[in-house]
Amino acid sequence: MTTGRVEAPTRREADLYATSSRTILLALAPILVALTLAGALLLALGVDPLTYYGYVLQRGLLSPLGFEGTITRMAPLLLLAASLIVAFQAGIWNLGGDGQFLLGALTAAAAGPPLAAHLPVSAALLLCLIVGAGVGAVWALLPALLRAYQGVNEIITTLMMSFLGVSFANVLVKLVFRDTTTTVPQTRTLPVADRLPRLFDTTVTSGVLIGLVAIVVVQLVITRTAFGLRLRVVGANARAAVHAGLPVPRLVVAAFVISAGLAGLAGAVEILGVEGNVRADWNPAFSLTVVPLVFLARFNGFAAIFFVFLFSVLSIGGESAAHRMGVPSFFNLVIVALVLVLLALAEYLGGRRLSGPVA
Amino acid sequence: MSLFTEPFLTALVLGAVTAGLPLLLAGLGEQMSERAGVLNVGIEGMMLAGAYGGFLVAYRSGSIPLGLFGGATCGGLVAALMALFCVRLALSQIVVGIALTLAAEGLTALLHHVQFSQTYPRLPAAATLPIPLLSAMPVVGPALFDRPLIVYLALACVPALSRLYRETHFGLALQAAGDAPAALDAAGVDVLRTRMAAVLATGVLAGTGGAFMAEIGAGLFVPFMTNGAGFIGIVLAMLARGRPLWVLWGALLFGMCLSLATALQVVGVDIPSDVIQMIPFAAVMAVLVAFGRRASLPAALGVPYRRGER
């Protein structure tokens, strides 16, 4: 082993840490400003902002149960972030994450109870995760092929397939997979014993490990492998990629399938780890909120983990603070929106610019 | 066939126009932003702000037209933020657009909760302006020619915008701002001002669409009531490839499918509304599979313009 070989990655890692810590610093100041602005709104509602934020911190970060809730919430969000990073790095606007997520969730919910009754739990769970990811990927196949071989704009097709998927999932819940033993339109509930195992003695689902592994693997594949480099070349300049002899259509389809598969996996993880069933008209619409987080992370997987964590604290802590203080939970949307705008503004003031895939 | 009775067709066409009009206004607005190179993801928030603001003004003043102005103003205010952040400061259009949508969702739901959550007040039906002779026609008459003034105005926007794009200096400047902003700059036209004008016009159109939805379509405001209409507007604008008339056809197709469920209930056929809601999206996908062509989007779409930067 030569010294040069050892040094090169070390320097790169040092850069990475510098970028990460800078990102985190750039993130903290705007959050404080956002909380101050939102605090003014709380005052107008007749609620003491400091008490409210105290609860947010307490219930989202400091109390054991709240912290566990935050980590559990991160599982689907990390997978969705990984899904979007793959697509955006390859220059693909996969905005159909909600449909892919919901169909992956529904598949896992439909397959879970019968599989768990006949197979060992671990085999049943594994199968559910695989088919959930598979169905998510299949749902993106049409947009992928249309984009790769016909050049049809994927913003249109993925949004259409997303609306279609959300309605389709509802039809399936109400007409096909409906649990006939309850009056509520929902699928059969997976017994708690058959769900994804919890970590240690906590309420944290092991789905969060799947999420962490996915986002780290995606980050490493994108930055350190030939395949990742090819995807980035296609994303940066598809015409140049053709001239470089890359099989662009095949790479586009591959990126699409991986991205949508991860979104489907996110849905399956949320069902097998947390929800246990799919209720009619259930649609947490996580994907739309993860899009700006991924942009703020500049498509960097490690930075995305931080932003996903921050968002989870705000949403878990916020839900519980709103409930406790009698504030409508809509208020938390305002906080998240303010945080997003001010983070983007801080990027601007910090002299860096967010870039995006070329449509 | 007994299904195609006059009451059924009347309900269908009337509902198609009522449901399609907000989509038409949103689509026309988004088309203008996109033409100028701004991918306006905040349009959902502009519609929602228009829906709430329009409802509030109409409820307090008792005047629907005044409410529509209020809605247009609220949509314009959200658009002014978008113009400031995404055009003037060149922040990411995706991050700010989604943030504005979330903020509008949260704020309107919050304000509605504080003011109206106990009462859910309704507005009286809007006064119509029947057009003599035409309004007496069966089916089309009540749907198209016996409507409030805003319906005629919105429909008139279609040829007006077509002319604006093809025949005016400003129309050409919009297109240049989206296709070759540096060339427009070199020609001595302010790119940022052109884009900001386009974004503001989008907000006014989308806000009016949202206000129409609340005041005339539903007669009341419900939190999150736009329910993806802004995103359908984005899709319509992209499908229309810059032609306002195509936005009209698309909006009517979507409106028709949205009103089909209600119309079927009029004649006693009960199909789950989820199945019917799938029709317009499936139709668009089928059209794209059959006639899929390369996208023709402005070259600089989604890219903030900064002078002297390549």
**pLDDT of amino acid A2:** 39
Of all residues in chain A, the one with the smallest CA distance to B110 is A330
Please indicate, yes or no, if residue B208 is contained in any of the structural domains: yes
Q: State pLDDT tens for residues A252-268.
A: 999 999 999 999 999 99
**pLDDT of amino acid A3:** 39
CATH code of B43's domain: 1.10.3470
- Please report residues of A whose CB lies closer than 8 A to that of B105: 330, 333
Query: Do A348 and B90 lie within an 8 Å CB cutoff?
Result: yes
**pLDDT of amino acid B293:** 64
**pLDDT of amino acid A8:** 43
Identity at A171, one-letter amino acid code:
V
Smallest CA–CA distance, residue B304 to chain A, in Å, is 9
Please indicate, yes or no, if residue A355 is contained in any of the structural domains: no
CATH code of A257's domain: 1.10.3470
Domain range for B215 is 6-291
Please indicate, yes or no, if residue A126 is contained in any of the structural domains: yes
Residue B85: DSSP 8-state: I
Query: Do B238 and A164 lie within an 8 Å CB cutoff?
Result: no
Smallest CA–CA distance, residue A168 to chain B, in Å, is 7
Number of domains in chain B: 1
- Please report residues of A whose CB lies closer than 8 A to that of B295: 151-153, 359
Please indicate, yes or no, if residue B308 is contained in any of the structural domains: no
Please indicate, yes or no, if residue A11 is contained in any of the structural domains: no
* pLDDT tens across the length of chain B (310 residues): 456 677 788 888 888 899 999 999 999 999 999 999 998 889 999 999 999 999 999 999 988 999 999 999 999 999 999 999 999 888 888 888 989 999 999 999 988 888 887 777 888 887 777 887 777 777 777 777 888 889 999 999 999 999 999 999 999 999 999 989 999 998 989 999 999 999 999 999 999 999 999 999 888 888 888 888 888 898 888 888 889 999 999 999 888 888 887 777 767 777 777 887 788 788 878 877 877 666 567 778 878 888 776 5
Q: Is the pLDDT of residue A237 over 70?
A: yes
Q: For residue B95, give the nearest of A146, A295, A358 by CB distance.
A: A295
Please indicate, yes or no, if residue B297 is contained in any of the structural domains: no
Query: Do B98 and A340 lie within an 8 Å CB cutoff?
Result: yes
Smallest CA–CA distance, residue A227 to chain B, in Å, is 26
Q: Which residues contact B63 (CB under 8 A, 6 or more apart)?
A: none
Please indicate, yes or no, if residue A30 is contained in any of the structural domains: yes
Q: State pLDDT tens for residues A319-352.
A: 888 888 888 888 888 988 998 888 888 877 776 5
Q: Which of B107, B111, B274 to mutate to test the interface with A (most CBs of A within 10 A)?
A: B274
Please indicate, yes or no, if residue A357 is contained in any of the structural domains: no
Phi (first) and psi of residue B125, to 5 degrees = -60, 145
Please indicate, yes or no, if residue A229 is contained in any of the structural domains: yes
Q: Which of B111, B288, B293 to mutate to test the interface with A (most CBs of A within 10 A)?
A: B288
- Please report residues of B whose CB lies closer than 8 A to that of A343: 95
Q: State pLDDT tens for residues A90-149.
A: 989 898 999 999 999 999 999 988 898 888 988 999 999 999 999 999 999 999 999 888
Q: Which residues numbered 100-159 in A keep a CB inside 8 Å of some CB on B?
A: 142, 146, 150-153, 155-157, 159
Query: Do B102 and A340 lie within an 8 Å CB cutoff?
Result: yes
CB A347 within 8 A of CB A296: yes
Please indicate, yes or no, if residue A3 is contained in any of the structural domains: no
CB B257 within 8 A of CB B279: yes
Q: State pLDDT tens for residues A10-33.
A: 555 556 666 666 666 666 788 888
Query: Do A291 and B98 lie within an 8 Å CB cutoff?
Result: yes
- Please report residues of B whose CB lies closer than 8 A to that of A43: none
Q: For residue A337, give the nearest of B99, B235, B281 by CB distance.
A: B99
**Is A23 within 8 Å of chain B by CB?**
no
CB contacts < 8 A (A, B): 156
Query: Do A292 and B106 lie within an 8 Å CB cutoff?
Result: no
Query: Do B85 and A345 lie within an 8 Å CB cutoff?
Result: yes
Please indicate, yes or no, if residue A15 is contained in any of the structural domains: no
Please indicate, yes or no, if residue B1 is contained in any of the structural domains: no
Smallest CA–CA distance, residue A61 to chain B, in Å, is 23
- Please report residues of B whose CB lies closer than 8 A to that of A307: none
Smallest CA–CA distance, residue A161 to chain B, in Å, is 7
Phi (first) and psi of residue A186, to 5 degrees = -155, 165
Q: Which of B23, B44, B102, B247 to mutate to test the interface with A (most CBs of A within 10 A)?
A: B102
Of all residues in chain B, the one with the smallest CA distance to A167 is B274
Of all residues in chain A, the one with the smallest CA distance to B278 is A164
Smallest CA–CA distance, residue A337 to chain B, in Å, is 4
**pLDDT of amino acid B125:** 80
**pLDDT of amino acid A199:** 82
Distances (CA, A) of B100 to A18, B139, B282: 31, 40, 29
> How many Cα atoms are found within 13 Å in the side-chain-facing hemisphere of B207?
28
Of all residues in chain B, the one with the smallest CA distance to A339 is B99
CA–centroid distance for A300 within its chain: 13
| Partner residues linked to A178 by β-bridges | A187
Phi (first) and psi of residue A328, to 5 degrees = -60, 140
Query: Do A330 and B105 lie within an 8 Å CB cutoff?
Result: yes
Residue B224: DSSP 8-state: T
CB A80 within 8 A of CB A237: no
Please indicate, yes or no, if residue B172 is contained in any of the structural domains: yes
Of all residues in chain B, the one with the smallest CA distance to A153 is B295
Q: For residue A330, give the nearest of B91, B106, B275 by CB distance.
A: B106
Query: Do B302 and A288 lie within an 8 Å CB cutoff?
Result: no
Q: What percent of chain A has pLDDT over 90?
A: 37
Domain range for A73 is 23-349
CB A163 within 8 A of CB A99: yes
Q: Which of A173-187, A284-298, B257-271 shows the lowest per-residue confidence on average (mean pLDDT)?
A: B257-271
What value, to the nearest 5°, has the Cα angle with vertex B262 and ends B261 and B265? 90
Q: Which of A95, A170, A341 to mutate to test the interface with B (most CBs of B within 10 A)?
A: A341
Please indicate, yes or no, if residue B301 is contained in any of the structural domains: no
**pLDDT of amino acid A355:** 47
Q: For residue B272, give the nearest of A174, A331, A341 by CB distance.
A: A174
Q: For residue B292, give the nearest of A152, A174, A347 by CB distance.
A: A152
Q: For residue B295, give the nearest of A152, A175, A331 by CB distance.
A: A152
* Nearest residue to B85 (alpha-carbon basis) of A303, A338, A359, A357: A338
In b/e form, how buried is each residue of A218-246, taking b as 16+ CB within 10 angstroms? Answer: bbebbeeeeebebbbbbbeebeebeeeeb
Q: Is the pLDDT of residue A9 over 60?
A: no
Please indicate, yes or no, if residue B68 is contained in any of the structural domains: yes
Q: Is the pLDDT of residue A4 over 50?
A: no
**pLDDT of amino acid A356:** 46
Please indicate, yes or no, if residue B259 is contained in any of the structural domains: yes
Distances (CA, A) of B142 to A142, B129, B150, B254: 40, 11, 15, 20
Number of domains in chain A: 1
- Please report residues of B whose CB lies closer than 8 A to that of A168: 274, 278
Smallest CA–CA distance, residue B135 to chain A, in Å, is 36
Q: State pLDDT tens for residues A64-82.
A: 888 898 999 999 999 999 9
